[in-house]
Amino acid sequence: MTPILEGSHDGSHLKIAIVVSRFSGEPCQKLLEGALGRLEELGVASSDIDVAWVPGAFEIAGAATRFHKARNHDAIITLGCVIRGETPHFDHVAGPCADAISRLSSGGRIPVIFGVLTTDNREQAMARCGGKQGNKGSDSAQAAIEMIRLYQQIPREASE
Ligand code: INI
């Protein structure tokens, strides 16, 4: 039978870095609360979680890259919120933010999770950080644990 690889949701003994932007205020705070709550439910010790606040989504990738280079964590979760209706330069913030996090993630050494909301308005953002559409912070935390456990089953190059 073909083996099917799938990551578990066992967060025990894992170290997680979270980079969260504060630009939009409440949505970002709620994303962080969602992530921390889910990590705790999955067995990650609070002492094994490092949280770095950055001013805006544009700064997330830089801080995430520093965590990545430091090699002290099993995954990095990025959280933030970019709202189209609140900025004329939405595309200049949201695009580079997503591209840079994607580049870091696709290196494949550890999971780098994209928990940055990009919405048309604040209402849509609020719905996705603990409202009708769930909490993307919580979803991102679960994705991080699942991907760590999956990567543990996929061989990587010996040189890494
Ligand atoms: N940063 C955000 O995180 N969300 C936004 O909606 C946003 N807007 O609206 O512009 C935003 N801008 C700030 C940007 O991320 C940087 O912090 C700033 O340009 C300094 O580099």
The CA–CA distances, whole Å, from 106 to 99, 110, 113, 114, 124 equal 10, 9, 10, 12, 28
Determine the straight-line distance between the first and last CA of the chain, rounded to whole angstroms: 31
pLDDT range class, residue 104, cuts 50, 70, 90: very high
- Tell me which residue has its CA closest to atom 10 in ligand 1: 87
- Which pLDDT does position 87 carry in this prediction? 74
Atom of ligand 1 nearest to the CA of 28: 3
Residue nearest to atom 12 of ligand 1 (CA): 56
Q: Tell me the whole-structure pTM to 2 decimals.
A: 0.96
Report strand pairing: 16-21 vs 49-54.
parallel
pLDDT in tens, 30-73: 999 999 999 999 999 999 999 999 999 999 999 999 999 999 99
Among 9, 13, 89, 92, the one annotated catalytic: 89
Q: Which CATH superfamily is domain 39-148 in?
A: Lumazine/riboflavin synthase (3.40.50.960)
What percentage of residues in the chain have a pLDDT greater than 70? 98
Half-sphere exposure for 92 (CA within 13 Å, toward CB): 3
Instruction: Give the atom of ligand 1 at the shortest distance from the alpha carbon of 93.
Output: 15
Q: How far is the CA of 90 from the centre of ligand 1 (A)?
A: 8
% of the chain beyond a pLDDT of 90: 90
SS3 state of residue 57 = helix
Tell me, yes or no, if 73 is annotated catalytic: no
Per-residue pLDDT for 90 more than 70? yes
Q: How far is CA 10 from CA 130, 142, 146, 147, in A?
A: 23, 9, 8, 11
C-alpha span between 116 and 156 (Å, rounded):
28
Ligand 1 centre and the CA of 57: distance in Å?
6
